[in-house]
Structures are given as C-alpha cells and as structure tokens.
Chains A and B, each alone.
Chain A
Amino acid sequence: MIEEQLLATGPADLPVPAQRPGLLRRALRQTRGRIGLGVLLAVVALSVAGPWIAPHSPYDFVAMPFQPPDAVTWLGADNMGRDVLSRILNGGWILMTMALSATALAMLAGTVLGLVAGYAGGRTDAVIMRLLDVVLAVPERVLVLMFVSVIGANQVILTLATGLVFIPSIARTARAATMDIVRNEYVEYAEAIGMSRWQLLRDEILPNVTTPLMVEAGFRLTWSIGLITGISFIGFGTQPPTPEWGLMINESRDGLLFQPWAVVAPILCIAAFVIGVNLLADAIARAAGRTE
C-alpha cells in the first residue's frame, strides 16, 4: 500500500517538463515589448543597410548649404551642402557600435565586480563598493566630459568613458542579486564540497542573476545612447566630418529655421532608437518582475 503511495509521489508520474517560456519571449507577449522590438529592428536595419542604400557619399558636397529637400537630396542638405539622408544612413552604425560597446564593457566589468563583492563580502566587498562609490559620486556627464577633455576627444575615449561611468550601477545590481543567491543552500553545498571560487561564481551564481542583469543592460543601453550623442553634440566625442547623429544636430543647428530637416532627422532617429530600446527593456523588466 505504501508502495503505491511512494510511486504516486515518486518516479511513476513525473510531471512533463513544463517548458517555461524564456524571459525574452515573455517580454514579447506584451504590446510594449513588441512595439519596442519593432522600432528597434527598424532603426538597426536602417543603420546596417544604410551605407549601401545611401544615394550619396556622406562626405560629398552635393548641394548648396541648407538646401531644402528636393529630388536630389530628399531630406535637403546640411550646413556644408552634404546630403542629410546619406549622412543619417551612414551615421547610425557608428552610434550603435559605440553604445553597444560601452554597455558591453560596463556589463562585463560591473558583473564581475558585483559578483565578487557580493560573494566575498567583508573587506573585499567594502573596498570594491567604496571605490565604485567614488565614480558614482561624480555626475555621469561631468565625469565623461572630464575624460574626453583631458585624454582626448575621440570615439574610443568617449566609448570607454561611457562604459566606465555605468560600471557602478551594474555592479550594484549584480551585487544585490548575488547576495540574495549566496544565502541559498546550493551555494553552501558547493562550498562544502570545495568547488573552486571561480567555478562557483560561474556555475552556481551567475546563471541565477542574469535576469536582473538583463533588465539593467537594457536601461544602460538607453542611457549610453543619450550620453554619447549628448557629448558628441557639444563636440567632445565624434569629430567632424564623421556623420554621427549627435554631432549632426550640432553642425546644422544654425539652419534650424530654414532647413529644419538637417536637425530634426537625426533627432527623430535618436529618439526612435532610444524609445525602441527603452520599451523593450521595460517589457523585459516587467516580464522578469512578474515571474521571478
């Protein structure tokens, strides 16, 4: 009799493994997630295919400065008479590469620091977090400006500086999530069998903190776009004649009244990119909050 009992609760009727839909899939079940992904894909597609489909070279002077839109220059010309549409199409991937690299850099460093701080605790934790607090104490924009003005105003420095200023917030997220996980008995078990610390962080902890980190990554990507275009706008990032969206706004702002497209077009592109990423990140955050 008890045998039947055992079987009923034991191996006989195992539940069919419920394939839980992944985080991204759950995010895409929401309208905001789908719109976000749609907008993002459109901007990315335009930026990737841009250089091939651009009607003109982004550097050639094809019209009069501030030429309004016509048959040759669909969005008109900028302050130097270059085709706005071609510059938009060529400029996207530069911004995207910078924003993605900065975010990836910050994620990598922030995650490692946060995991180590959260797992080790004690003095290691204190040293890491206080150092990061120093970075956090200075406003992001001011810190990035400091780097690019002291070391050099170019794309690489701007990307590195942007990555650096985002490390503390990512590290904080990773640390908080890690401290929750460390209390679990499976981490204690791994310690009791003497699993190496590196292996423990990689196999036992990291897979369990990816959800909050993915959410964080989405928001950091949004912020880095704003930061990079902002710094480029005031002339400390990408240098002319590179067709970068933030820089383009600055270059053509004198003609805002008689050739608004030279300014409005890059603004719309940046806005679409930011809104797309943000909606998607928000959907991921909601999906994560709902089930885990």
Chain B
Amino acid sequence: MTAVVDVQGLCVRLSATGEEVVSDVTFSIGRGEILGVVGESGSGKTSIGMTLLGYLRKGAEVSAGEIRVDGTDMRRAPEAELRRMRGAVVSYIPQDPAAALSPRLTIGTQLAETLSAHGRKGRDAAARIAAMMRALDLPDDRAFLRKYPHQLSGGQKQRICIGMAFLLNPAVVMLDEPTTGLDVLTQDSVLRTVRRLCADHQVAALYVTHDLPVVAGVAHRVMVMKSGHIVEQGPVAEVFARPQHAYTRELIAAAPDISCRHHFGRAVPAPATATSPAGPPAAPVLRVVGLDAHYDRRQVLHGVALDLAPGECLALVGQSGSGKSTLSRTIIGLHNASAGAIVLDGETLANLARDRTPAQRKRLQYVFQSPFTALNPRRSVAEAIAAPIRTFGETPDRTRIAELLDMVSLSQRVASLYPSDLSGGERQRVAIARAMATDPDVLLCDEITSALDVSVQAAIVRLLKSLQEERQVSMIFVTHNLALVRSLADRVAVMQGGRIVETGPTDRVLDNPEADYTRLLVEITPSMQPAA
C-alpha cells in the first residue's frame, strides 16, 4: 500500500506567542484507508487536518516538518499549485454543513461551482453531478438540484458537502467532525456513505472527531492526540482493545458505550435505586398524563404519559424533532400544553411557570443544553446561584453559596468569576448548582452534556449520579446519546414523532428492545466493543 499522505515531524505554532499547538507529528495514510484522529478540544487535531490542505487559521504557522500529499510538498508548493490541488486532490468536509453551504445559491449551482473552479463545465459536469447524487442516495432529478440549502435536512446538507468533496475524485479527504450536529440515525447514514465512497474511490481519509465509538465504526487506524502530541497510534481494534498509553485508557474510560454500564471511574458499582423492578413501586413524584402540545398549528406531542419515581433517573431519548425537548419544556412550564396534565406530588400544575405557586416552581428545576447561553454573561457565579434563592424570597448568604459550589465540586474562588472566565464544563456545573439552590425534588436536564468533551461529560454525569444518590433528586435526562443512557438512567422512555413508543428499565430496553424504533436506535449506535 503506497502512502498518499505522508507527514513527518510536523510542528505548528502560534506566530504571536511561539506556543506550539502541534509538536512532532508523524503519520501516513494509504489509498482507501481511513485514519481517525481523536482528542479533546484544543488537542490540535483540526490543525493537523488543515495542514493537509496547505492551510492554517490566521496566526498559526507550520514551523517544522514535511507534509506530502499525493507526492506534492505542501509546505513549498506555490499558492497557485495549492489552489489547484484543493478540491481536486485534497478536499474538505466541514463540521457544520449549514454554515458551509451558501444560503442564497441552489445546491445544484454550488455543486457545479466545485467542478467549474477546476475547469469542468457543461454536459460532462452535469452527468458527474447526477452520478454523485445517486452515489449519495439523494434524488438526482433537476428539481432536487434546484433546491436551496434551507429546504434540505441536516443529513442531506452534510451529504451534499460530502458530494462536493468527492466530486473531483480527490486522493485525500479531510473530515472535521462531520457528524457532530447530527442525531444518531442521520449520523449512521452519513458514516456509511463516507465509508462506501472512500472504499469505492480508493480515497485516503483523515477523520477528526472526539467521538470514540464513531472512530471505532468508521476508521481503520486511529491516532490519539493530547495537547499537540501523538500519544498513541495503531489499528482501531488494537488500540481500543489494548490501549498502551494512560491517556488513551482515560479517554476510553470516560467515553460511555451502549454495550456496557460505565461507572466513570467509580470503584463501587452504583447501588440499585428504590425503583428496581423488584421493589414495590413508590408513589410517583411527577406524573404526566395525556399531554398534547403544539407549535402554532403543528402538534408535536401526542398524549404523552410518564411517571417518575422518587430518586429515579429517567432518560428521555429520541432523535431530533421527536418532541423530547418540547416535553421537558412543557413540564417546566416554558411551553403551553394544549391537553393533558402534569401532576407534581398529587398537585396538578398550571400550564405556565408563572401561574404555578412558588413552592411548585421551587421543587421543579431545569438545566439547559448550552453552557454558553444558560448563564447571564453579566452576572458573577455567586449572583447566578443566588438568583433563584432570592426569587423565592430568601436571602442568599455566603455559606449557602459556598455549600452549593462545594456540591458541584467547584472551588470557592469561582464565586466572584464571570461565565466568560469558565470552561464549558465549569459553566454547566454552575448551572447545576443554580438548579440545586432551591433544593428541588425533580431536576430536568436537557442534553446538558452534548456540547462537552468526553472527560468533562463523564465528570458531569458522575456529579449528577452523586446528587441523585445523596439527595434523592429525581431526574429526567433528555438525550439522543444512548451510550450515556446505559450508564446513567434507571429507566428509559423512547420518543418518536411526539409519542412515547417504549418505556422500561434501562437494561431491558437496551438489551431486548420491544419497539422497532428502539431496536433501530440501539443497532445503529456506534460502539467500541467488537460486534457481538
């Protein structure tokens, strides 16, 4: 196998500070081979990929090493040569297809642009595009090509980007977290398309991601990065089965996997909670009965019913648009229900949070998805945590705030900082402390780890588990990540099209799914374990 990509001793540094973000990286990729590059935010994995295109973001420069792509020395090639190669020899598939496609041009025009930029026009170009559309499982008729990006789904947009990248039969493709924003069903079809195209066209691919199970499913070899260094490199099965480096072991330990329960570094197995199927069912703390909800005229929830036992963690799973977020927002009183009832400990709640009693609002708390918009940038951490306490007419004192920070394992120094001083994981901890400030009985968590790195996600999940065990908080955990569910939840409710299609104890639902939809979700969730 001849190497199409050959990188020797690559170093990238920031011109301003001289700080090295990539140090002494050596690897090669052969024809038809997919190399997965994994690592956490800031490990330099995207920078490595970009050097293959002869491009680096402003302020960074290649300070040493050699980059050969299809025989061309990318460091010394003149700009005109690089321009000729980009797209034709080495191409790029971006993380966010919505931002990569121009909203004002039809996808047909954008695909044709890729070809005309390299001098291919007319009948030949049209035939090529049609062939590519068929290869992508997209309609190849003119009507589809006349659509604008906003008329396509996220998965279709990403497939168009993939098509653009493969249109000129490149030798190398660089993929930058191409499935991060997609739900598991779409991710599966995108991954399969990538794998097939790489094999059919004998393309060498560099697949950058922080998602280990995805790498396990798509790549042949894997390279693990930490702060600019390669810590380990080898065949996927080998590395995941017998990781040599401590950091790889940590990453694997932190990554939840659907096939087995992780305890995120905990030695003691999680004790069975009161809701094990054996015990007598306790009276539910929260009960949702026949809930309907609409967005304008469109009905998004159809007669949803749920019970949440005290101290239980219920995972609400489903793909985007299944209504799981609407359900949790309706429960907390941010969205109006059009029929049905939400009952908290025997009291039926008013539709909107404002119309509920303070005592009811206090008992039901919410943690939002994005750590970046969940906290007011103009409020210090102490003020953010004090806000709910103050709203419920109590005076927040220093000891209470110190206690809450302690509960989420943040140092006391954090109190005077502002959200912009904190990392995503730290912000999410503050959001949890804020929710815990009112000593709630039920905590709703809406995809709270989806924006975080795996090790941070593991730490947050550990925190939630300890809160659940020590304070007997009941939890509804909304997620599309089935792997996480296995490790966190006592019970699972699977949503599809605004209806709950299956509920049951986690292990039963994931091991012996009853509904077809659940079975499909379980099957396509990437796993690091070899297929059993």
**A2 engages B265 (CB within 8 Å):** yes
- Chain B: interface residue total (CB-CB under 8 A): 56
Cβ of B434: which chain A residues have Cβ within 8 Å of it?
189
Which residues in window 46-103 of A have CB below 8 A to B?
none
The interface-forming segment of A11-19, A105-113, A168-176 is A11-19
Overall SS of chain A's interface? helix
**Are B376 and A204 in touch, CB under 8 angstroms?**
yes
For B459, the chain A residues whose CB sits under 8 A away are 2, 5-6, 9-10
* Pick from A18, A188, A194, A203: contact of B368, CB under 8 Å: A188
Residues of chain A at interface, number, CB under 8 A: 31
B426 at the interface (CB under 8 A from A): yes
B410 interface residue, CB < 8 Å from A? yes
Q: How far is the CA of A9 from the CA of B425 in the complex (A)?
A: 7
Interface string of B419-460 (1 = CB under 8 A from A): 011110110010000100010000000000000010110110
* Chain B hits for A2, CB < 8 A: 250, 253-254, 264-265, 455, 458-459
Are A9 and B420 in contact (CB-based, < 8 A)?
no
Between A192, A193, A203, the greatest number of chain B beta carbons within 10 A of the residue's beta carbon is seen for: A193
Contact with A along B321-357 (1 / 0, CB 8 A): 0000000000011100000000000000000011010
| A207 and B377 alpha carbons, distance in the complex (Å) | 9
Contact B416 A208, beta carbon cutoff 8 Å: no
A182 shortest CB reach to chain B, Å: 11
Of B354, B365, B425, most buried by chain A (CB within 10 Å of CB) is: B354
Which interface residue of A9, A189, A191 has the most chain B CB atoms within 10 A?
Answer: A189
Q: Are A18 and B421 in contact (CB under 8 A)?
A: yes
Taking a contact as CB atoms under 8 Å apart, the answer to whether A195 and B391 are in contact is yes
Q: Does A290 contact B (CB under 8 A)?
A: no
Interface residue B268 (Cβ < 8 Å from any Cβ of A): no
List residues of B whose CB falls within 8 A of some A CB: 246, 249-250, 253-254, 264-265, 332-334, 353-354, 356, 358, 361-362, 365-366, 368-370, 373-379, 384, 387-388, 391-392, 409-411, 413-414, 416-418, 420-423, 425-426, 429, 434, 438, 453, 455-456, 458-459, 462
Can you list 19 A-B contacts with CB-CB less than 8 angstroms, sorted by A residue number?
A1-B249, A2-B458, A5-B455, A9-B456, A9-B459, A14-B413, A17-B417, A17-B418, A17-B421, A18-B420, A184-B374, A184-B376, A185-B368, A185-B374, A188-B368, A192-B365, A203-B379, A203-B387, A204-B376
**Knowing that A2-B459, A11-B426, A194-B356 are A-B contacts, what are 19 other residue pairs whose CB atoms are under 8 Å apart, sorted by A's residue number?**
A1-B246, A2-B254, A5-B254, A9-B453, A12-B411, A14-B422, A17-B416, A186-B373, A186-B376, A188-B334, A189-B368, A192-B353, A193-B353, A193-B362, A193-B391, A203-B376, A203-B379, A204-B376, A208-B376
